[in-house]
Amino acid sequence: MIAEVVISVMILVFAVIILRTSFLEFYLPQPGFIGFISSPNFYPIFFSIILIILCTILLIKSITPIVKKKRIEWKISIDVFSMKRIAIILISTALYIYCFDKVSFFISTLLYLSILILYLNPQLKYKALLYIVLGSFIVAIIFPEVFKIMVPVR
Amino acid sequence: MDWSILFNEWYMFPQVLTSLASPSTFLGIVLGCIIGFVFGVVPGLTALMAMTLILSLALLLPPDICFGAMLGIYTAAIASGGFTSVMINIPGTPAAAATVLDGHPMARKGMAREAIGAVIVSSIFGELLSISIFLITLPFFIYVVLSFGDWEVFLFCCMGLVAAGALAGKDPLKGWITALMGIILGLIGTDPVFGFPRYTFGVSELAKGIDLVAALTGLFGLSEVLMVLKERKPYQLIGKVSFPKLDFRIPIKYPKTFLTSVLVGLWIGFIPAVGEGVSPWLAYDFSRRLSKNKDKFGTGWVEGVIAPETANNATLGGALIPTLLLGVPGSATTAIILAAMYLYNIPVGPLLPRLRPGTITTIIVLTLISCAIGLLILYLLAPLTMHILSLPREVILPLLIPFFVLAVWGSAYTVFDIWTMFLFGILGFALRLADFPIPPLVLGFVLSRPLEMTLRRSIVQYSTNLPALFLRPVGLIIIAILLLMIIGVRRFTKRGQ
């Protein structure tokens, strides 16, 4: 329920930004009604207005049961295990992408897989090393060779 | 009207068959089937993920190999998802969820070989019949779409978005919201008519719009990986799979169940962006109602395996009709095929049979070959099911992320696209967490430009007499269907719940 409200608000904000930008950068190719509806901004305006209406309906639908309870439970149960996992995966992936055109692709893949596989499978130990080295070799050496993909830094 | 255009694809069948008989095409299909088998068997890995990976490599491969590999993946993954349903009571792919109901009880009764045999035979024969029906009815559909102008294509796109939004998730409102979001995201970039930059916010890379490969890899690849890795759900591996017992008389033994399921698959496939997730459940329900043994359903009865497995693979035939002839994907998997067609500059839509004759037949022939090879591969690889399932998911899934990164890099050679994939991965993950369906977002994104272009062209064409646009006969029929759909959505979803 809370996730629904948060996402609805975020989409609503997105639609409002699009609508505002459309009006700020409005371009009218020819005067009159035909000019207005054939303008590049007409369709984004039209779709963002519908999006705003639908998001508002969803938001009201999601909030109503919370309001009806009268006592809002501010304490949200967060699955710490999942959140920690996702945060580590996302941060390490962001770092991996950041290093993509700066560090050797084989070394960055080796480091990235080491972090993820060892973190996600602490019980694997020596077997994990095999997966990491083999995986990095396939991804960073064989795959680019077979498909003739030029990596920025070998 | 040039009537030869209707039958041109039929005439080209032998020619296409000969041109595709090359070792490289066969190798592409074989590899596709093997990859599809692995992605189908392991819960969390899906046909979509594997097809997205091939999509990223589309520009590096010849079209025949790319489409062959994609169709091989589709055939094998959708079928092998049922193996996992039978053996460990967890569907290997979302399309195999309904197979759990009777497949696993069959395995518990000691009939695992028969159940997996039924999965293979009904999947392959279902897909064969559905694609054959598509081939036979092709002249009729070409005739219908040739009467479509820009206005009708626009209305059909709208119909697709309404249907996708309503049927892809639990709440139609959420489906429509994601579809609209997809449309708006697709509008980012230079306006195709006046060359006016829209929503680039000063970022020069956004002038060409959001890259399709990067967006799809993020939404279907990275976000799926994140969803699976979010929680640790170990599954228990009991027993082993030997070579399955194939009974090729299944379509003759259970004709009512088989034919009903093929028709359900075709129909659901035809409705844009709904696809394999929905058709097995409907086929299961219809078959149970029509069967003389309705009480046996749910207790390990073979018809309960045949119905969903036939329907999920049969969805392809129906889904390819709007995908190829109107450029509106019938399912999430055909959205990937459509995206690959865009990359190869194939003019998908009503003019496809005229501008690129033989393309539709190529896809049909590749599907037929995929079925033949898929049957063999699934039979031979079935004993490896438990070995593949014993591979830790927490090892396979992290390995996929560098593949996604490299594949997106290989499609356009810009780091910006890799960041786009990353952001779309997070977007897809966040939307899934709040139960927003992803297929309508992809449909909206893919249809965004055609939707805008067809409407703008229609308005310009009818600028002197705008009301006449609403009086075009085919358009009027589509508007009527569209209105009926909007009215019926609420009743349908209430009944569905």
Residues B83-129: tens digit of each pLDDT = 988 888 888 888 888 998 999 889 888 888 899 999 999 999 999 99
pLDDT of res. B122: 95
pLDDT of res. B275: 77
Q: Is B209 left (phi over 0), alpha (psi -120 to 50) or beta?
A: left
Residue B436 and residue A57: Cβ atoms within 8 Å?
no
Q: How confident is the model at residue B486 (pLDDT cuts 50, 70, 90)?
A: confident
Q: Which of B163 and A108 is assigned the larger pLDDT? A: A108
pLDDT of res. B467: 83
Average pLDDT estimate for B191-216: 85
In chain A, where are the structural domains located? 2-68, 80-146
B427: amino acid identity, one letter: L
Residue A7 and residue B422: Cβ atoms within 8 Å?
no
CA distance B439 to B485: 19
Residues B441-480: tens digit of each pLDDT = 988 898 888 888 888 888 888 878 888 888 888 888 888 8
Report residue B289: phi and psi, to 5°.
-65, -40
Q: Which of B57, B184, B395 sits opposite A121 (nearest CB)?
A: B395
Q: Give me the number of domains chain B comprises.
A: 1
Average pLDDT estimate for B348-372: 91
CA distance B343 to B321: 19
% of chain B at pLDDT higher than 70: 95
Judging contacts by C-beta atoms under 8 Å, the chain A residues touching residue B406 are 105, 139, 143-144, 149, 151
Q: Which of B198, B392, B460 sits opposite A38 (nearest CB)?
A: B460
A86 touches chain B (CB under 8 A): yes
Q: Which of A100, A113, A139 sits opposite B418 (nearest CB)?
A: A100
Q: How confident is the model at residue B496 (pLDDT cuts 50, 70, 90)?
A: low
Judging contacts by C-beta atoms under 8 Å, the chain A residues touching residue B460 are 38
Shortest Cα distance, chain B CAs vs residue A100, angstroms: 8
CA distance B479 to B192: 27
Q: What is the pLDDT of chain B when averaged over all its residues?
A: 87
Residue A83 has pLDDT above 90, yes or no: no
Q: Which of B196, B226, B405 sits opposite A27 (nearest CB)?
A: B196
Closest chain B CA to residue A49: B180
Q: What predicted TM-score, i.e. pTM, was given to this entire model?
A: 0.85
pLDDT of res. B255: 93
Contact B214, B421 (CB under 8 A): yes
Alpha carbon B237 to chain centroid, angstroms: 30
Residue A59 has pLDDT above 60, yes or no: yes
CA distance B447 to B55: 18
pLDDT of res. A36: 78
B181 touches chain A (CB under 8 A): yes
Shortest Cα distance, chain A CAs vs residue B238, angstroms: 21
Q: Which of A21, A79, A113 sits opposite B398 (nearest CB)?
A: A113
Structural domain of residue B181, as residue ranges? 4-496
Residues B313-333: tens digit of each pLDDT = 999 999 999 999 988 888 888
Upper half-sphere CA count for residue B2 (Cβ side, 13 Å): 6
A131 touches chain B (CB under 8 A): yes
Residue A97 and residue B419: Cβ atoms within 8 Å?
yes
Q: Which of B463 and B232 is assigned the larger pLDDT? A: B463
Contact B138, B321 (CB under 8 A): no
Residue B399 and residue A135: Cβ atoms within 8 Å?
yes
Cα-Cα-Cα-Cα torsion A35, A38, A42, A44, nearest 10 degrees, comes to -160
CB pairs < 8 Å spanning A and B? 149
pLDDT of res. B318: 92
Q: Which of B402, B430, B456 sits opposite A109 (nearest CB)?
A: B402
Shortest Cα distance, chain A CAs vs residue B103, angstroms: 31
B186: amino acid identity, one letter: G
CB burial of B266-298 (b: ≥16 within 10 Å; e: otherwise) equals bbbbbbbbbbbbbbbbbbbebbbeebeeeeebe
